[in-house]
Amino acid sequence: MQIKAFGAATIATLLTGGAWAQEQSIIVQSTTSTANSGLYDHLLPMFENETGIKVNVVAVGTGQAIKNAENCDGDVLLVHARSAEEAFVEAGYGTERMDLMYNDFVIVGPEDDPAGVGGMEDVRAALSKIAGEGALFASRGDDSGTNRKEMALWAETGIDPSAASGDWYRETGSGMGATLNAGIGMGAYVMTDRATWISFENKQDYEIQVQGDADMFNQYGVIPVSPERCPSVNAEAAQTFADWLVSDEGQDAIAAYTVADQQLFFPNASSD
């Protein structure tokens, strides 16, 4: 694992340009899980106190966050769909993509576990069993990073859940928290990132039923938006934020964030 140090040039800029930094603000187009988990509430005060740069977060599904950044409506992109992130950079919208942190996806369901998938690690086998039993499954259906991963897993089972849309397969078109609420309300299984689940307060009788498959790995990346494609971007402040996140200080701050004594994100910063 390669960790970036918070560059001396960046620090010098901050020290010699205090007035500059205090006047700066950036917009981060972000996936919802980092916001819903409370991670930004933990990280941003540290960064803002150190640099004077105000960070405004727009939390939407990964697909929408990428579209917003392509429309130059943000200075930094922080999402979790690696192939889409790499395409974003390849198309010239981002300056570079850096691994930031990871956790994993899990499938949660009611305690009575109508499909009998509790304790399974093989996520494809579990999805096949849910479909075979016609057990309710609530999907975000919003082109988010979580939804993209879910659909990729369904494709690998050979099952097209959209054929059962409105029957056992229910698409909410909503964020993770709203989908969890809807799924719990109807007694459906839900695939969620672990950080959102740990932070989620309306668990009722729900518990993690499927976990541990290596293909449920959930990598997050950070990308400064390119000033060449988006001249209005606050490039210097955006780079400062990205550099801080992947610095030892930022990585330590990510690792230190816990909810109910559980670490939500695991830093693994490196430059591609």
pLDDT in the model for residue 57: 98
pLDDT tens digits for range 243-271: 999 999 999 999 999 999 999 999 999 75
pLDDT at residue 106 greater than cutoff 60:
yes
Does the residue 165 lie in any domain? yes
pLDDT at residue 16 greater than cutoff 60:
no
User: Do residue 98 and residue 223 come from a single domain?
Assistant: yes
pLDDT tens digits for range 29-43: 999 989 989 999 999
User: Do residue 197 and residue 235 come from a single domain?
Assistant: no
User: Do residue 152 and residue 113 come from a single domain?
Assistant: yes
User: Do residue 205 and residue 121 come from a single domain?
Assistant: yes
User: Do residue 59 and residue 160 come from a single domain?
Assistant: no
The domain that contains 63 carries what CATH number? 3.40.190.10
pLDDT tens digits for range 53-98: 999 999 999 999 999 999 999 999 999 999 999 999 999 999 999 9
State the pTM of this model. Answer: 0.86
DSSP string, 98-164: EEEEEEEEEEEEETT-TT--TTB--HHHHHHHHHHHT--EEE--S--HHHHHHHHHHHHHT--GGGG
Structural domains of the chain, count: 2
User: Do residue 93 and residue 224 come from a single domain?
Assistant: yes
pLDDT at residue 165 greater than cutoff 80:
yes
User: Do residue 200 and residue 111 come from a single domain?
Assistant: yes
Segment holding 244, helix H or strand E: helix 235-246
Does the residue 63 lie in any domain? yes
The two structure tokens encoding residue 98: 């850096």
Does the residue 1 lie in any domain? no
User: Do residue 210 and residue 119 come from a single domain?
Assistant: yes
Q: Please give the residue range of the domain that contains residue 173.
A: 104-216
